[in-house]
């Protein structure tokens, strides 16, 4: 059997001119049809700041395809595969900077912090549609205009503007993280009644619709929200609760497996056995005889820990 052919990704090396803080690719030379004859993604050795000045097309970035248009911007870390295509002529302008060198120069007496900030800047590419984050866009535009005009002291001005730009990128990334965390907390609050319902009614014939109803959500929306938050299907979560309760019963009683299954809401012993094996990689009988049968082991299975409320 032949091996699957590996994808080719091109490496493009850019060098910043001496005495400059960035390599600026500006002007009419960059009015062209992008991606013509190019089949592969590419990556750079430097951080790329791109601005679409005119036209439209598609951008492949971070494994996703995005449509771009005039006014959109991209901030792409070094070693981050991407490519740009356009059906017709487009106009892009670019700046290439050494983010690590700039941050190290900002914190000469605190290199650990500089390294931490460099990793933060490198961890994510940013696509900004026109009109989004105007402050960050304006900072990048000012740097491009300084390089375009090259008036006295442009080197000193661009050096400081680039430092301010990197701080803006870091703030944007932190704000995104905070928004995602807040959104996650909000979603967890919405599904909390379902978790409590499962804990209180695991012995009954509970359906996903019942769990959705206590959250006042449609079944479709509830299912999607639950899987995003808990990383598992609602019925899998319910069965996990049932198995945890079964462990408690087996620890303190000598009930038969048929009795345990019934007490925990399983309609048949075979269903109980199958779910027990799924979560604990053991049969109920083997688990009961084992000395290492701690209930907490269940959380080593395919469930991420739940945050507190």
Q: 56-97 pLDDT, tens per residue?
A: 999 998 778 999 999 999 999 998 999 999 989 999 999 999
Give the separation between CA 193 and CA 213, rounded to whole angstroms: 9
Task: Tell me what the pLDDT averaged over the chain comes to.
Answer: 87
Check residue 77 and give its pLDDT: 94
**In the predicted structure, residue 300 carries a pLDDT above the cut 90:** no
pLDDT, position 210: 93
pLDDT-derived band at 7, boundaries 50, 70, 90: low
> Which of 2.170.120.40, 1.10.10.60, 2.60.40.10, 1.20.1630.10 is the CATH number of 185-300?
1.10.10.60
Tell me the per-residue pLDDT of 143-179, one tens digit each, with 9 for 90 and over.
999 999 999 999 999 999 999 999 999 998 888 877 7
Domain 9-180 and domain 185-300 have a common topology: no
Pick the CATH number of 9-180 from 2.40.128.120, 2.60.120.280, 3.50.50.60, 3.30.465.10: 2.60.120.280
The pLDDT of 8-13, averaged and rounded, is 86
pLDDT at 227: 87
Mean pLDDT of 195-211: 91
Residue 266, judged by CB atoms within 10 A of its CB (0-12, 13-18, 19+), counts as buried
Q: What is the pLDDT of residue 308?
A: 32
Q: What local confidence, expressed as pLDDT, does residue 296 receive?
A: 42
pLDDT at 241 over 70: yes
Where are the chain's structural domains?
9-180, 185-300
User: Which of the residue ranges 48-52, 84-88, 173-177, 291-295 has the most confident prediction, judged by mean pLDDT?
Assistant: 48-52
User: In this predicted structure, what is the pLDDT of residue 104?
Assistant: 93
The set of long-range contacts for 222-227, using a CB threshold of 8 Å and a minimum separation of 24, is 222/191, 222/194, 225/187, 225/190, 225/191, 226/191, 226/194
């Amino acid at each position: 059997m032949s091996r699957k052919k590996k994808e080719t990704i091109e490496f493009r090396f850019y060098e910043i001119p001496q005495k400059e803080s960035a390599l600026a690719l500006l002007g009419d030379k960059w009015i062209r049809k992008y991606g013509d004859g190019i089949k592969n993604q590419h990556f750079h050795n430097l951080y790329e700041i791109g601005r679409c000045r005119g036209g439209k097309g598609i951008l492949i970035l971070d494994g996703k395809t995005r449509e771009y248009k005039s006014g959109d911007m991209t901030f792409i870390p070094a070693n981050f595969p991407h490519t740009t295509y356009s059906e017709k002529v487009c106009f892009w302008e670019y700046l290439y900077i050494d983010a690590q060198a700039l941050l190290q120069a900002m914190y000469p007496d605190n290199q650990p912090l500089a390294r931490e900030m460099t990793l933060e800047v490198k961890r994510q590419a940013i696509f900004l549609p026109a009109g989004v984050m105007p402050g960050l866009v304006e900072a990048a535009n000012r740097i491009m205009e300084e390089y375009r005009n090259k008036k006295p002291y442009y080197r000193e001005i661009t050096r400081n503007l680039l430092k301010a730009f990197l701080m803006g990128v870091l703030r944007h990334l932190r704000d995104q993280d905070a928004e995602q965390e807040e959104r996650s907390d909000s979603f967890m609050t919405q599904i909390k009644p379902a978790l409590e319902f499962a804990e209180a009614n695991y012995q009954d014939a509970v359906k996903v619709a019942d769990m959705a109803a206590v959250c006042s959500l449609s079944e479709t929306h509830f299912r999607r929200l639950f899987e995003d938050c808990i990383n598992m299907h609602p019925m899998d979560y319910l069965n996990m609760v049932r198995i945890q309760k079964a462990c408690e019963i087996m620890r303190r009683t000598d009930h038969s497996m048929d009795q345990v299954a019934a007490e925990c809401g399983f309609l048949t012993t075979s269903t109980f056995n199958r779910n027990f094996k799924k979560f604990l990689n053991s049969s109920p009988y083997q688990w009961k005889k084992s000395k290492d049968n701690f209930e907490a082991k269940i959380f080593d299975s395919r469930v991420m820990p739940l945050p507190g409320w």
